[in-house]
């Protein structure tokens, strides 16, 4: 069975209680989407957003979790707590976390394990910098990140991969279709080689996905959806991306 395509939105450090009105607008316009729809708001908005999910039409997720279930870690949130608030997913290893909080592949893998133990699906992010792409290291960098960030307990059910070139995030620039296809094929092959059932993993593209390029990106082989930042904040834009994925 083909995996269900996933339109995932990452609100990052944007949005407030008033912004939850966008969820109503999104679900009014797309009451029965033809793909899975996920929003990952700031942690404070997870619980109220779950209250607007209309019985699970919308899935809600966190943007990060700690590797431990509880303890003396001021300011952190555990996957268990995310689950308790109603989250079904958590993004781990986003390039902004890797850069701002010095998270390495081992830390990302530990967070993914914590998510799986809590019963949450991890969305594990990988991506090359512009300097790495310019120097021809993209495939080596992505291969190494997949090898070290994806834990042995990963399955097609508990793990989603997001390929997000760092230089494409928030810049309006995207790789060519061939470049996206090349990296997604590498990730697919690595997952099949390691897990056997790797064909079932969903692999998202992320980085400046918007209504105007979504149709084209969703037609690329091995692209099973998108992780969307800026364009997920407005119901009209994200709704157009949901519609494009539903029709792909």
| Binding of residue 209 to ligand PGA (CB under 6 A) | yes
Residue 179 Cβ vs ligand PGA, minimum distance, rounded to whole Å: 16
Write the binding mask 188 to 207 for ligand PGA: x where contact by CB under 6 A, - elsewhere: ------------------xx
Q: Are strands 36-40 and 58-62 parallel, antiparallel or unpaired?
A: parallel
For residues 118 and 98, give the distance between their C-alpha atoms in angstroms, rounded to a whole number.
22
* Residue among 27 and 231 whose Cβ is closer to ligand PGA: 231
Residue 40 Cβ vs ligand PGA, minimum distance, rounded to whole Å: 9
Could you tell me which residues are beta bridge partners of residue 58? 37
For residues 125 and 110, give the distance between their C-alpha atoms in angstroms, rounded to a whole number.
14
Given 30, 66, 164, 184, the catalytic residue: 164
Q: Which of 46, 227, 244, 245: binder of ligand PGA (CB under 6 A)?
A: 227
For residues 87 and 97, give the distance between their C-alpha atoms in angstroms, rounded to a whole number.
19
C-alpha distances out from residue 52 to 40, 73, 90, 146, 181, Å: 13, 30, 18, 34, 35
Question: Token match 């494009």: residue?
Answer: 244
| Binding of residue 63 to ligand PGA (CB under 6 A) | no
164 catalytic, yes or no? yes
216 catalytic, yes or no? no
Helix (H, G, I), strand (E, B) or coil at 68: coil
| Binding of residue 146 to ligand PGA (CB under 6 A) | no
Q: Which of 10, 109, 149, 222: binder of ligand PGA (CB under 6 A)?
A: 10
Given 66, 94, 116, 184, the catalytic residue: 94
For residues 173 and 12, give the distance between their C-alpha atoms in angstroms, rounded to a whole number.
19
Q: How many positions of this chain bind ligand PGA (CB under 6 A)?
A: 13
| Binding of residue 122 to ligand PGA (CB under 6 A) | no
Contact between 70 and 78 (Cβ < 8 Å): yes
| Binding of residue 169 to ligand PGA (CB under 6 A) | yes
Q: Which residues are catalytic?
A: 94, 164
Residues that bind ligand PGA (CB under 6 A): 10, 164, 169-170, 206-209, 227-231
């Amino acid at each position: 069975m083909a995996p269900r395509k996933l339109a995932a939105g990452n609100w990052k450090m944007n949005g407030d209680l008033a912004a939850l009105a966008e969820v109503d607008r999104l679900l009014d316009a797309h009451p029965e989407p033809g793909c899975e729809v996920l929003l990952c708001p700031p942690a404070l908005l997870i619980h109220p957003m779950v209250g607007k999910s209309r019985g699970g039409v919308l899935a809600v997720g966190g943007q990060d979790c700690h590797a431990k279930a509880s303890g003396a870690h001021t300011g952190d949130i555990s996957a268990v707590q995310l689950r308790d608030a109603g989250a079904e997913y958590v993004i781990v290893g986003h390039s902004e976390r890797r850069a701002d909080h010095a998270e390495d592949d081992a830390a990302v893998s530990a967070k993914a394990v914590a998510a799986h133990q809590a019963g949450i699906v991890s969305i594990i992010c990988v991506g090359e910098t512009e300097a790495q792409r310019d120097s021809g290291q993209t495939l080596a960098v992505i291969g190494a990140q997949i090898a070290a960030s994806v834990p042995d307990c990963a399955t097609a059910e508990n793990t989603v991969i997001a390929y997000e070139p760092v230089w494409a995030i928030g810049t309006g620039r995207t790789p060519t279709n061939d470049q996206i296809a090349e990296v997604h094929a590498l990730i697919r092959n690595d997952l099949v080689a390691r897990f056997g059932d790797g064909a079932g993993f969903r692999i998202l593209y992320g980085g400046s996905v918007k209504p105007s390029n979504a149709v084209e990106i969703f037609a690329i082989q091995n692209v099973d959806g998108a992780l969307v930042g800026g364009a997920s904040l407005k119901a009209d834009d994200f709704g157009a991306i949901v519609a494009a994925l539903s029709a792909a």
